[in-house]
Structure 1
Amino acid sequence: MNLHDYIAGLPKAELHVHHVGSASPTTVAALAARYEGRTAVPADPGLLADYFTFTDFAHFIDVYLSVVDLIRDAQDVHQLTYAVAADLAAQQVRYAELTVTPFTSVRAGIPAEEFCDAIEDARLRAERDFGIVMRWIFDIPGEAGIPAADATLDIALRCRPQGLVGFGLGGPEVGVPRPQFAAHFASARASGLHSVPHAGESTGPSTIWDAIETLGAERIGHGIAAARDDVLMALLKEREIALEVCPTSNVRTRSVASLEEHPLPLLFAAGVPLTVNSDDPSMFSTTLCREYEIAAELLHLDEDGVTALAAAAVRHSFADAADLARITSEQIEYRDLAVRNPRAAPTIGDNRGIFDN
């Protein structure tokens, strides 16, 4: 078995994946066809690759919002959510925390209660049909400011879908200071939600410091700028604040010049807690499996090292104790099966023995 096949079969958790950004080209094109003449999004799946070519992070946000605009009723929400779950389950994702931005859908006219009911129904159906456990992180679209933060917090606390576990902050970082949302995150944390803001993707380490010091971040979305600050990396290691790293995304949004220049190896060498994720896989023409392959190449990992990354994602998730134990057991069993069957074991990379650390 080569490493590609090993990764494909490895039980995994996905912690940084956006609800709308995970919609397959087929799903996006079908939604675009439904609203043809009222959207710039192509209704031909073959044209979406060009449409999803971004000049910079700001352009990515504009394109992303044009796809968000295709979600116009609860039926659209349900269709997209269930399809995303099916795609994740096909990659052996056992547990996923989807970043969801209810504000944009509610602003477009979908009642908050209907939106939450739609994602919940899709979540429960997916768990029944595919065995995947999905949870929600409701995030503030930072570019929409305090009104969006007020609305997102209200939806989270008033509707409180059963699958909701976290409160986040997405969108552009430039011009969107993190401290302005401190009160919102304090209220969310007081209600039992975990703090998982984006920070340090397209800006410097100061944004990550703000996320930790003013928003109480327990994990950081992206956070790759931490590689520029030795003190910050030491703090992340000491406090076990994991970074949700998405290599292809960082290149496609031009936050990093190339995969070869990605700071993942530097962060890894410094002992910063890391998870590997796909972010907006359909928009970036990637998959979670592909992101693990990239990480394995950058870090020179074999199956033990790759399994360690997958185990870290489970460990840093907000899964309950039963799911944590179940998925971890599945990962160990899968790894041990490959070890017992040398013909099935991948042969590239070196054994760093980090799975047992």
Structure 2
Amino acid sequence: MPGDSLRAFIHALPKVELHVHLVGSAGVDAVLALARRHPSAGVPTDAVELREFFTFRDFPHFLKVYWAVQSMLTDRHDIESLVLGLTDSLRSQNVRYAEVTVTPYNHMVDGMPADELLAGLASGRAEAARRGVDLAWCFDIPGEKGLAAGRETLAFALTERPDGLVSFGLGGPEVSVPRAQFAPFFAAALEAGLHSVPHAGETSGPATVWSAVRDLSAERIGHGTSSADDPALLAHLAEHRIPLEVCPTSNLRTQQVATIAGHPVGRMLSAGVIVTLNTDDPPMFDATLEGEYLAVAEAFGLGAENLRQLARNAVDASFLPAAAKSYLLTEIIATPTPASPA
């Protein structure tokens, strides 16, 4: 399929994003504005220097930058601004629905009142709907901050329970942060009707993914990159239809993989695992959801029907109501396949 036809087809596909962090969705202009209002955060106030700031040496360096950006968010207006910036980016790519990860504990540790965070999320979500993008929330535990963060995140999620909250996650560094210690919080979240979507296997081995499945009853896995190193794990994920939220460009930028062509997504697909494509922290990684589809298609020789299936995977793996899933799936199926060159 010619490049222009492939791009047009990818754009035309109604898409769903399942792994994108609200703080990580802050674009350069938004971060510059925040940095100039909060110079003590140590984030560059010059556009050229900021782009260099976003050149990550490794995963710990990425986290340091991420936390610096987060520290500049102070009120509902900052939160709403991020939500609407993300909304406009999604809308421009024909993304109809996104499940957005928010880390309430970090915002409150940084001094943001709970009602400011909730108000920003609510107003942003309402305006996003008016702009044609349906948003849902995942509240996640910053794992590196331990059991206190787990308790507080669970209490906040279950006490406040804002409209659009569908899932409970676990993010941050994986090395030396065992998944199993958070099992009681995930059990309580599941009991309350939230879905389990922990990160695992992004910067650690397959054992972390196994733990997420066994100890946290994961219904989807954030990243799951190292799953490909364990054929038995891939078989388990495929058999039990546990989707992976794969973020190829993110893994490239944080140096978890050397090239997109070397990403294990090809082995995941070959093993029958339900793969969904996602951006993680799009402006920080210079990523777009359309770009993820295109990069994977080009690296692994995927055609229109393969891409259509990836779009369907994301809908099926989402926590949308059945009627909304059916509507989107019908649209995806109806998206015209590009004509083959004569």
TM band (smaller chain):
over 0.9
Aligned to 1:126: 128
Matched letter for residue 2 of structure 1: S
Identity among equivalent pairs (%): 48
Contact 1:101–1:138 (Cα < 8 Å) also in 2 = yes
State the SS of the aligned residue for 1:261.
coil
Aligned to 1:77: 79
* TM-score, length-scaled by structure 2: 0.96
Q: CA RMSD in A?
A: 1.2
Aligned to 2:235: 234
1:14 matched to 2:13? The reply is no
Query: How far apart are the structure 1 equivalents of 2:204 and 2:126?
Result: 37
Matched letter for residue 103 of structure 1: Y
Query: How far apart are the structure 2 equivalents of 1:2 and 1:41?
Result: 40
* TM-score, length-scaled by structure 1: 0.92
1:5 matched to 2:8? The reply is yes
Structural mapping, 1:86-101, within 5 Å: 86-101=88-103
C-alpha offsets along residues 274-331 of structure 1, whole Å, 9 cap, x if unaligned? Answer: 0000001111011111011111123211111111111110111001112111211221
Matched letter for residue 58 of structure 2: D
Aligned to 1:207: 208
Query: How far apart are the structure 2 equivalents of 1:319 and 1:14?
Result: 12
Matched letter for residue 172 of structure 1: P
1:325 matched to 2:331? The reply is no
Aligned to 2:44: 42
Query: How far apart are the structure 1 equivalents of 2:14 and 2:48?
Result: 31
Aligned to 1:352: none
State the SS of the aligned residue for 1:172.
coil
C-alpha offsets along residues 250-284 of structure 1, whole Å, 9 cap, x if unaligned? Answer: 11111112222211111111111100000011110
Structural mapping, 1:133-148, within 5 Å: 133-148=134-149
Aligned to 1:296: 297
C-alpha offsets along residues 160-180 of structure 1, whole Å, 9 cap, x if unaligned? Answer: 001000000000001100001
Query: How far apart are the structure 2 equivalents of 1:259 and 1:78?
Result: 33
Query: How far apart are the structure 2 equivalents of 1:124 and 1:332?
Result: 28
Query: How far apart are the structure 2 equivalents of 1:108 and 1:64?
Result: 13
Question: Deviation at 1:116?
Answer: 1.5
Query: How far apart are the structure 2 equivalents of 1:45 and 1:81?
Result: 22
Question: Deviation at 1:181?
Answer: 0.3
Aligned to 2:244: 243
Contact 2:261–2:300 (Cα < 8 Å) also in 1 = no
Contact 2:75–2:120 (Cα < 8 Å) also in 1 = no
C-alpha offsets along residues 237-256 of structure 1, whole Å, 9 cap, x if unaligned? Answer: 01100000001111111111
C-alpha offsets along residues 201-259 of structure 1, whole Å, 9 cap, x if unaligned? Answer: 11100000000000000000000111011111111001100000001111111111222
Please identify, of 43-52 and 276-285, the stretch whose mean Cα deviation from structure 2 is larger: 43-52
C-alpha offsets along residues 57-88 of structure 1, whole Å, 9 cap, x if unaligned? Answer: 11111111001111111211111111111111
Query: How far apart are the structure 2 equivalents of 1:48 and 1:193?
Result: 37
Query: How far apart are the structure 1 equivalents of 2:313 and 2:46?
Result: 38
Query: How far apart are the structure 1 equivalents of 2:156 and 2:249?
Result: 32
Query: How far apart are the structure 2 equivalents of 1:40 and 1:3?
Result: 41
Contact 1:112–1:159 (Cα < 8 Å) also in 2 = no
Structural mapping, 1:22-33, within 5 Å: 22-33=25-36
State the SS of the aligned residue for 1:53.
coil
